[in-house]
């Protein structure tokens, strides 16, 4: 995000608090879908040169059916000066995820579990990426797959991301959403990829080191990837530490080919 969008998002985040209501997150994600599908509406609400009063009037007129809490967050979003319209849409989506996080303390873990499911299911990936299946069909597919297995809150978030891919891979969108949710809860997510399972002592020591680095609690997800051969690959927020043997071999190949 541009600096203006980061500032606008930081200001709008203050409107996301426990008192906004249980339905605010889902309502905001629904609003994001409506805004994203209408370039004219997105431009009108995300235009930094438009008066805040006029954008607020548009929100009240078109989204008056939203709860007061959800509408308040949307008004806070349109009051900011976003770098681009796309970043405005992305920002409102993040606000919706943060609002949803307030209602479900298990949401980050559930989204990561769904991301892992998508990673492992090649047939599901093909179906969700097919141009022959419309958005409604894809949403129906994931709802049939997830209903009763994860919370209604998680199903709502996954359904939104499936219906609104905006050029993003679903697994990547789910992991980003999980990071946003964890951040709202005051923690970081770390994905640790290793060639073989870690012992409980190693997991505890690694989690402690990551928490010292992040300065707050860290939820660690371990992924087993035998192709790493040895070593470890760690992703914490946007930072990646790759100390795997595969990475070192790849570096050596590049040096030899130069």
Q: What is the per-residue pLDDT across 152-163, written as a single tens digit (0 to 9) for each?
A: 999 999 999 999
Considering the domain architecture, whether residues 178 and 229 belong to the same structural domain is answered as: no
241 and 156 share one domain: no
Of 183, 200, 217, which residue constitutes the final position of a domain? 183
State whether 142 and 197 are in the same domain.
no
Of 51, 86, 101, which closes a domain?
101
Instruction: Please tell me whether residues 92 and 20 are part of one structural domain.
Output: yes
Assess contact for 192 and 221: CB atoms under 8 A: yes
Closest CA to 89 of 170, 150, 31: 31
- Is the pLDDT confidence value at 140 over 90? yes
User: Kind and range of the H or E element at 241?
Assistant: strand 239-242
pLDDT at 247: 65
Same domain, 139 and 204: no
The residues near 133 (Cβ < 8 Å, ≥ 6 apart) are 127, 141
- 77 and 12: one domain? yes
Element housing 18 (H / E): none
Q: Which residues lie below 8 Å from residue 52, measured CB to CB, with a gap of 6+?
A: 78, 79
Do 191 and 179 share a structural domain? no
| Residue 256: predicted pLDDT | 58
State whether 125 and 170 are in the same domain: yes
Judgement on whether residues 132 and 151 belong to the same structural domain of the protein: yes
Report residue 57's pLDDT band, with 50, 70 and 90 as the boundaries. Answer: very high
> Per the structure block, which two tokens stand in for 202?
């190693």
Average pLDDT taken over every residue of the chain: 89
- Residues 80, 25 share a domain: yes
User: Which positions ≥6 away from 200 have C-beta within 8 Å?
Assistant: none
The torsion defined by the Cα of 130, 134, 139 and 141, in degrees rounded to 10, comes to -60
If one counts every other C-beta atom within 10 angstroms of the C-beta of residue 229, the result is: 14
Mark whether 169 and 196 lie in a shared domain. no
Contact 63, 31 (CB under 8 A): yes
194 or 53: which carries more pLDDT confidence?
Answer: 53
Q: Among 164, 183, 202, where does a domain finish?
A: 183
- Which pLDDT band holds residue 204 (cuts at 50, 70, 90)? confident
Residue numbers of the domain that contains 151? 107-183
pLDDT of the residue at 27: 96
Total number of domains in the chain: 3
In this structure, is the dihedral angle defined by the CA atoms of residues 195, 198, 202 and 207, taken in order, positive or negative? Answer: positive
Residues 179 and 196 in one domain: no
């Amino acid at each position: 995000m541009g600096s203006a969008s980061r500032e606008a998002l930081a200001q709008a985040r203050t409107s996301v608090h426990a008192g906004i209501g249980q339905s605010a997150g889902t309502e905001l994600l629904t609003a994001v879908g409506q805004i994203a599908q209408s370039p004219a509406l997105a431009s009108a609400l995300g235009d930094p040169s438009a008066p805040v009063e006029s954008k607020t009037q548009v929100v009240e007129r078109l989204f008056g059916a939203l709860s007061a809490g959800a509408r308040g967050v949307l008004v806070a979003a349109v009051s900011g000066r976003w770098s681009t319209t796309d970043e405005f849409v992305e920002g409102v989506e993040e606000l919706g995820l943060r609002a949803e996080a307030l209602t479900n303390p298990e949401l980050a873990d559930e989204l990561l579990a769904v991301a892992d499911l998508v990673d492992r299911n090649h047939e599901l990936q093909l179906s969700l990426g097919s141009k022959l299946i419309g958005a409604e069909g894809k949403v129906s597919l994931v709802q049939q797959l997830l209903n009763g297995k994860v919370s209604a809150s998680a199903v709502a978030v996954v359904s939104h991301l499936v219906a609104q891919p905006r050029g993003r891979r679903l697994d990547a969108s789910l992991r980003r959403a999980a990071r946003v949710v964890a951040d709202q809860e005051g923690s970081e997510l770390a994905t640790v990829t290793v060639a073989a399972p870690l012992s409980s002592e190693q997991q505890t020591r690694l989690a402690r080191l990551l928490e010292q680095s992040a300065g707050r609690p860290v939820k660690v997800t371990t992924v087993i990837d035998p192709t790493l051969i040895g070593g470890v690959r760690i992703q914490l927020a946007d930072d990646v530490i790759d100390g795997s043997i595969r990475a070192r071999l790849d570096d050596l190949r590049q040096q030899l080919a130069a």
